[in-house]
Structure 1
Amino acid sequence: MIEEISACDERLVKVSGAAGTGKTAALIARAARLINDGADPSTILMVASTTFGAQALRERLRAALGEDNAPAANEVAITTALNAAVAVLGTPAACEATDRKPRLLAGFEYNFFIEDMKTTGQSRRQLKNVMDLFDRHWCSYDTSEDWLIPGEQTVAWQRAQEVLGALGAMLPNEAPYLAARFLQENPEGRAQCGFEVVLADDFQNLSHAQQTLVCLLANRQVMVAGNSNETATCASPLPHPDGFTQFENLRNGVTCFQLETAFNNVKATAFADALAVAGADSQALTAQKRDGSATDITLVKWNMAEDEFNSLTKYLRALIADREIEESQMCVVVPNKRWARTMQQALGKRGIKTSADGAFPGLVGDPRDAARSQALIAFTKLNLLANPEDVVAWRAWCGYGHQLTHSDTWGRLLEYARQQGIPVLEALPAVAQAVAGGTEPFMKAKLIAERYNQGREFIEKNSRRKGFGLTRAAGLDGLREFKGTLDTLAGDEDAATVYAVLRDKEMNPTFTEGAHILRISSYENMVGCNYQYVVITGCVDGLMPARDAFEVVSTDEDRKRVMDAERRLFAGAVAKARDELMLSTFSRAQLELAEKTKMQVTRVRSDGDDRIALLRPTTFIAEARNAAPSTIGGQMLLSKYDLA
């Protein structure tokens, strides 16, 4: 059937199937068939849920094209729906039509936006509720703003437009909405931005706006693949699974294919299907046949959490040497950022190179506390050197180290710029000049003038620096957040080049490529990927599923919502094992560690001076019943390689 799909030239095509049945493989086969038949690779768009999924698509397309034709894979547009929206909005026609620039706010930059929104008098909780409302309507592709209720919502909406307009920036959930509206309302722009063929993987994960955008970008054919039971919140905070399940009902002439044979490890896909059924009242789509590796799947049980890091990594080192497995074909799945860092350190001590870039949010810190935002300040300094006209960078620069990030003063600057009829970039030097002349255009204008002058002085002093001199001047050296990227520099890059690399890592993280680099992934970033050997760590209640699934103070509905979402993520990771799957759990942990990482503690015991938390293996093991993996003790596992 995959061969039949690859040859299908119908305008609208839907491919569905259970986990591991080759939905992604079908899209790759279609792209490879088009290229081998002479299609221009640049006329093909492939959409993934995450940047890691996009990276995997390109790697697999190269392999499918063969050695001679593999370079054509680099010409295919393989990206996320969000980045496709940014590309559309960056065209001259879209910039003119929307009067906006697709300069997306990074996570830490969004915090400044929220502080500036507080000048409306609303609390952070109120603003969160309002912004969640805006996101919901953007993601749902509500093309009218009639849903705005006069009062707090209208005030917040107007303020958001003012702040974003002054920054020359855009919110991530806003971009697909604006891009889809532009394409729908501008036929000429749609013709310029479109692709002959659009192939969208895991279509159910996209928001309604993203799905609309993807379809509007297709001139000749759109092929979507997915399964609503595999819906994950990774491409959008509000995925739209109905957009996939109802795809053929909402459109005429849709050709549908349903894949029925699972090709990955047969026990892993059976395990994933059992979990899907457990969460969908037996209505989940499951594989009818299995034709993959029959290797056993294993649940290894350690005594303490520390054993998972120390002993499991020792075993993996021996396994790699014994099997001669390429480390890039092995993925360790972790439940949180702490697990990612600790596992990376433990594997590094074993001599195993790893990539955990983007496994969890990159640049974090509190901009209100300069001591806790060193990485943010260094990133902003580099941003100023790379692009002194980036208002977002100036906004951040003017706000570090203050309890309210100087939001009131920045708001007065915006008002001053509006009154003078000039953009913020002109208002900044105008205020500095006025203060130097002895006048203060508005309250606390001296503060803005001081920060602006410091920024200009820094730019003038360091604008010509390159390479390591540049990174030292910006304060990047010695910071863990940038070490991996800085290690790849040649040493002669200018500020624009280094900043582009760091921003791309922040906004579009991918794994470091290399045959001997093991990958460490979050559950969300397993979507769209596939590995020979998958190890899922931290398989205890509280880590997976999250403790919110057990909180007695929550409603049954809230607990079920969390449990269902976590089950889909867990099942999705399980199904990504082509050959071997190992799950790792432990029965005890130091109470302090258990509380910090929100494990679900069943009892607490004293062990000398230590307090030990007793834990349960993830509830999903019991849910899978006969399809669950067999359990083996950690010491028995180590004995296979005389490591006990």
Structure 2
Amino acid sequence: MDELLKLPIEGACACVEHDASDDVAPTLAAYARRVAEAGLPVRIVCADSWTAARYRALLDADPTSPLDAASAVSVRELALGVMGDARVSAAVGRGARVLDGNEMDVLMEDVKVSGLKPGRLREMLKFFYKSISECADDDERWLISAEEQTVYAILTENLEARRALLPCEAASLAYRGLVAAGVEREDLVLVVDDYTTMSRASQRLVRHLATRGLVAAGRTLAAASAEESYPCFEGFRELADAAECVVKVEDARPRAVRESRALEDPEAEQAFVAASVEERLSAGTAPKDVLVAVPNAAWGARLADALEERGVPVERAFFEGKIKGDPRTEGRYAQLKLATFLRLLLDPDDFTSLRSWMGFGDWLVRSDAFLELLAYARERGISAAEAVAQLRAQRDEERASTIFGKFDAPLDELDELRRACADGLTREEACVLFEARGMPLSERQAALLGDDPECADVGRLAREAFRLPAEDAARDAVRVATYGRCHGRHARVVFVTGFVNGFLPGNDAVDDKFTIDHRRVALERERALALDVLAAADEQVVCTRFERAALEATARMNVQITRVFVRDGERLASVAPSAFASLSDDVLSIDPSVPRELPTKVLYNVSTQ
């Protein structure tokens, strides 16, 4: 890959095309260092957070480099950094705050006031999100029907009230804010890893910010990253066609050896994988050179536990970040409520969290009252946060509507909790207080209150209780990652676990309840995912699967069942092996005639009415 280091340092647009199995990160980092040593400002931009973490580890490992860890960011971090500029934020009416999965659920309830059936509404929202990612909303006429315009207006009003962003909006609004505010761009060379899997909006932002030069690496395999729902695979080819320089990486190393193993049940499969990893480490393989791919977080947790029981160091890369629970149902939102309160304790002006807080325990999360609140704010030309403050200061009889009274009880409770925490609590008082308010602390959370029984460290609890564990890219440990989070990783040995229909490929690629067209498209998507996971292996890949499991367990796992039978009084189910289980080139060859996706608009117009 020495030709990459010969790319022009400034002013040019250059593209680097490579296979998914080629690890270009060290070379791109070396090129970025060369640019920095020439006295030019440079940043490395990655498609996802774990690749950015790896670049930061590479930069930190070289004490002589003029670049530091801050020189490598994910494209979302890049967009949020732009949104953090007050001029950009003011231009688009949003802040540098992305809704998490739980907050998206509350937003969904607020948009249900449109009256659309939930299935149809979800498909319409997918159409909106995809269109935003593809910059289709640049055209004022992108919404055709009155129904689309109404739902989109409700959606945007709710987001503006929260001053928050959809995950798909960050890059789009960052670009628009820069242009609308007339912000002068700084001199900057951008080195982009995995340009192929960025959305069109992210690609546009990157090109806009690369004022002194752009080097973009793209993979030949069209497989998505787990952090980008709507990648624009065509964008890299379009950039390459217009680029002054295109480098194609040719690596002659042999393909990793592929092996498939079938075990009796999930427990036997996990025991086999744990023992095999331990055996390889004993033979001299470094822990960081082993990657274990898993279908989901629950599967990953069991495997990680099994490895740690054997003394194997593990980095867990399968956290989804969503807290389990239902904000509408009493008794099912304790941890959601606790997380929301702690965020409000850290930032009293976080209106997104306040909106969630006001909805707990109501089947509609009080979306009717929130709709009234937005109307009140709109009529008076004030923000939703200002409307809450005004209405809280008024007596019931002075209010224009009685419906806002639905928020009084949760807001009173919030005020009481804030006062109690501000006044100071002992550890025991803090535990009793949270439990009395329906937010009991787990043993781990209670430990965060500190060692002093006379003074509970509620601030530490707020900062640490729900902080997602960050993957330590520099640590010498076995990585356990979900299939989608294997994207962009490289290891000498890879174990692909749960290699059955329903896991890989996913259920919608094999289940007859989906249409033939849907299954055809989904199978190609999953084929690309399988190739992406296999490409992570430099020397050997071992695909493991289980042949049967308890019938109740297979229902929870959502895998494809071929036969149900009883053995020794226990109901068991045989599970179909993965459609790719043979690992042959025939079953793993991408069919270029199959579209990458079905038109989302067709889905919500036809299949969900």
Q: Is TM > 0.5 for Structure 1 vs Structure 2?
A: yes
1:152 is aligned to: 147
Please state how far the C-alpha of 1:471 moved relative to its aligned partner.
Answer: 8.4
User: Could you tell me whether the CA contact under 8 Å between 1:526 and 1:576 is conserved in 2?
Assistant: yes
Over aligned residues, Cα RMSD in angstroms? 3.2
**Inter-CA distance 16–110: structure 2 relative to 1 (3 Å threshold):** same
The residue type paired with residue 573 of structure 2 is A
Q: How far, CA to CA, are the matches of 1:431 and 1:257 in structure 2?
A: 62
* Corresponding residue to 1:303 among 230, 253, 264: 264
Q: Secondary structure at the residue paired with 1:169?
A: coil
* Corresponding residue to 1:134 among 112, 119, 128: 128
2:214 is aligned to: 222
User: Could you tell me whether the CA contact under 8 Å between 2:286 and 2:476 is conserved in 1?
Assistant: yes
User: Could you tell me whether the CA contact under 8 Å between 2:261 and 2:542 is conserved in 1?
Assistant: yes
Please state how far the C-alpha of 1:325 moved relative to its aligned partner.
Answer: 4.2
User: Could you tell me whether the CA contact under 8 Å between 1:27 and 1:199 is conserved in 2?
Assistant: yes
Q: Secondary structure at the residue paired with 1:339?
A: helix
User: Could you tell me whether the CA contact under 8 Å between 2:450 and 2:457 is conserved in 1?
Assistant: no
Please state how far the C-alpha of 1:230 moved relative to its aligned partner.
Answer: 3.3
User: Could you tell me whether the CA contact under 8 Å between 2:316 and 2:471 is conserved in 1?
Assistant: yes
2:421 is aligned to: 462
Q: How far, CA to CA, are the matches of 1:12 and 1:349 in structure 2?
A: 50
1:254 is aligned to: 244
**Inter-CA distance 6–456: structure 2 relative to 1 (3 Å threshold):** farther
- Which segment is superposed worse, 453-462 or 147-156? 147-156
Please state how far the C-alpha of 1:32 moved relative to its aligned partner.
Answer: 2.8
Q: How far, CA to CA, are the matches of 1:216 and 1:113 in structure 2?
A: 31
1:282 is aligned to: none
Identical positions, percent: 24
- Superposed, 1:623-638 pairs within 5 Å as 624-625=584-585
2:57 is aligned to: 59
Deviations 1:596-632 (A, max 9, x none): 212222222321211222234322232525999xxxx
Q: Secondary structure at the residue paired with 2:188?
A: strand
Q: How far, CA to CA, are the matches of 2:378 and 2:86 in structure 1?
A: 25
* Corresponding residue to 1:172 among 167, 170, 175: 167
Please state how far the C-alpha of 1:398 moved relative to its aligned partner.
Answer: 0.9
Q: How far, CA to CA, are the matches of 1:237 and 1:619 in structure 2?
A: 24
**Inter-CA distance 14–7: structure 2 relative to 1 (3 Å threshold):** closer
* Corresponding residue to 2:83 among 82, 86, 89: 89
Q: How far, CA to CA, are the matches of 1:257 and 1:530 in structure 2?
A: 21
- Superposed, 1:585-624 pairs within 5 Å as 585-622=545-582, 624=584
Q: Secondary structure at the residue paired with 1:95?
A: helix
**Inter-CA distance 267–233: structure 2 relative to 1 (3 Å threshold):** closer
**Inter-CA distance 126–627: structure 2 relative to 1 (3 Å threshold):** closer
**Inter-CA distance 503–38: structure 2 relative to 1 (3 Å threshold):** farther
User: Could you tell me whether the CA contact under 8 Å between 1:300 and 1:582 is conserved in 2?
Assistant: yes
Note the residue ranges of structure 2 that are not aligned, 5 or more in a row.
Answer: 589-609
1:198 is aligned to: 190
**Inter-CA distance 525–113: structure 2 relative to 1 (3 Å threshold):** same
Please state how far the C-alpha of 1:213 moved relative to its aligned partner.
Answer: 0.6
Please state how far the C-alpha of 1:88 moved relative to its aligned partner.
Answer: 0.9
- Superposed, 1:529-540 pairs within 5 Å as 529-540=489-500
The residue type paired with residue 49 of structure 1 is A
**Inter-CA distance 471–326: structure 2 relative to 1 (3 Å threshold):** farther
2:277 is aligned to: 316
Which TM-score applies when normalising by structure 1?
A: 0.82
Please state how far the C-alpha of 1:496 moved relative to its aligned partner.
Answer: 6.8
1:75 is aligned to: 70
Q: How far, CA to CA, are the matches of 2:165 and 2:480 in structure 1?
A: 31
User: Could you tell me whether the CA contact under 8 Å between 1:356 and 1:521 is conserved in 2?
Assistant: yes
User: Could you tell me whether the CA contact under 8 Å between 1:105 and 1:171 is conserved in 2?
Assistant: yes
Please state how far the C-alpha of 1:522 moved relative to its aligned partner.
Answer: 1.0
Whether 1:355 and 2:288 are equivalent positions in the alignment is: no
User: Could you tell me whether the CA contact under 8 Å between 2:15 and 2:216 is conserved in 1?
Assistant: yes
**Inter-CA distance 184–500: structure 2 relative to 1 (3 Å threshold):** farther
Deviations 1:95-154 (A, max 9, x none): 232232222111101111111112222232232132222212211112122111242111
**Inter-CA distance 140–323: structure 2 relative to 1 (3 Å threshold):** same
**Inter-CA distance 428–183: structure 2 relative to 1 (3 Å threshold):** closer
Q: How far, CA to CA, are the matches of 1:626 and 1:124 in structure 2?
A: 40
Q: How far, CA to CA, are the matches of 2:16 and 2:66 in structure 1?
A: 27
Please state how far the C-alpha of 1:12 moved relative to its aligned partner.
Answer: 0.4
Whether 1:398 and 2:386 are equivalent positions in the alignment is: no
1:385 is aligned to: 345
Q: Secondary structure at the residue paired with 1:620?
A: coil
Q: Secondary structure at the residue paired with 2:21?
A: coil
Deviations 1:442-462 (A, max 9, x none): 233332122111111111211
1:15 is aligned to: 16
2:593 is aligned to: none
The residue type paired with residue 230 of structure 1 is A
**Inter-CA distance 195–577: structure 2 relative to 1 (3 Å threshold):** farther
- Which segment is superposed worse, 355-364 or 43-52? 355-364
The residue type paired with residue 254 of structure 1 is E
Please state how far the C-alpha of 1:326 moved relative to its aligned partner.
Answer: 4.1
Deviations 1:230-253 (A, max 9, x none): 32153422211111122233x3x5
Please state how far the C-alpha of 1:308 moved relative to its aligned partner.
Answer: 1.5
Q: How far, CA to CA, are the matches of 2:379 and 2:178 in structure 1?
A: 34
Q: How far, CA to CA, are the matches of 1:332 and 1:233 in structure 2?
A: 17
User: Could you tell me whether the CA contact under 8 Å between 2:291 and 2:495 is conserved in 1?
Assistant: yes
Q: How far, CA to CA, are the matches of 2:88 and 2:129 in structure 1?
A: 21
The residue type paired with residue 256 of structure 1 is V
Q: How far, CA to CA, are the matches of 2:555 and 2:197 in structure 1?
A: 32
The residue type paired with residue 51 of structure 1 is S
Deviations 1:434-487 (A, max 9, x none): 34x65554233332122111111111211366998898566787549x87x987
The residue type paired with residue 448 of structure 1 is F
* Corresponding residue to 2:391 among 415, 431, 455: 431
Whether 1:5 and 2:5 are equivalent positions in the alignment is: yes
User: Could you tell me whether the CA contact under 8 Å between 1:205 and 1:235 is conserved in 2?
Assistant: no
User: Could you tell me whether the CA contact under 8 Å between 2:197 and 2:232 is conserved in 1?
Assistant: yes
1:183 is aligned to: 178
2:606 is aligned to: none
* Corresponding residue to 1:417 among 365, 377, 388: 377
2:255 is aligned to: 267
User: Could you tell me whether the CA contact under 8 Å between 2:4 and 2:27 is conserved in 1?
Assistant: no
**Inter-CA distance 583–73: structure 2 relative to 1 (3 Å threshold):** farther
Whether 1:442 and 2:430 are equivalent positions in the alignment is: no
Please state how far the C-alpha of 1:15 moved relative to its aligned partner.
Answer: 0.5
**Inter-CA distance 488–11: structure 2 relative to 1 (3 Å threshold):** farther
**Inter-CA distance 96–361: structure 2 relative to 1 (3 Å threshold):** closer
The residue type paired with residue 255 of structure 1 is C
Q: How far, CA to CA, are the matches of 1:611 and 1:617 in structure 2?
A: 19
1:638 is aligned to: none
User: Could you tell me whether the CA contact under 8 Å between 2:369 and 2:404 is conserved in 1?
Assistant: yes
Q: How far, CA to CA, are the matches of 1:399 and 1:107 in structure 2?
A: 16
Whether 1:582 and 2:566 are equivalent positions in the alignment is: no
User: Could you tell me whether the CA contact under 8 Å between 2:45 and 2:52 is conserved in 1?
Assistant: yes
Which TM-score applies when normalising by structure 2?
A: 0.86
1:639 is aligned to: none
User: Could you tell me whether the CA contact under 8 Å between 1:24 and 1:225 is conserved in 2?
Assistant: no
The residue type paired with residue 100 of structure 1 is R
User: Could you tell me whether the CA contact under 8 Å between 1:62 and 1:71 is conserved in 2?
Assistant: no
Q: How far, CA to CA, are the matches of 1:626 and 1:551 in structure 2?
A: 22
Deviations 1:155-183 (A, max 9, x none): 11221222112222221212211122233
Deviations 1:378-403 (A, max 9, x none): 11010111111111111111111111
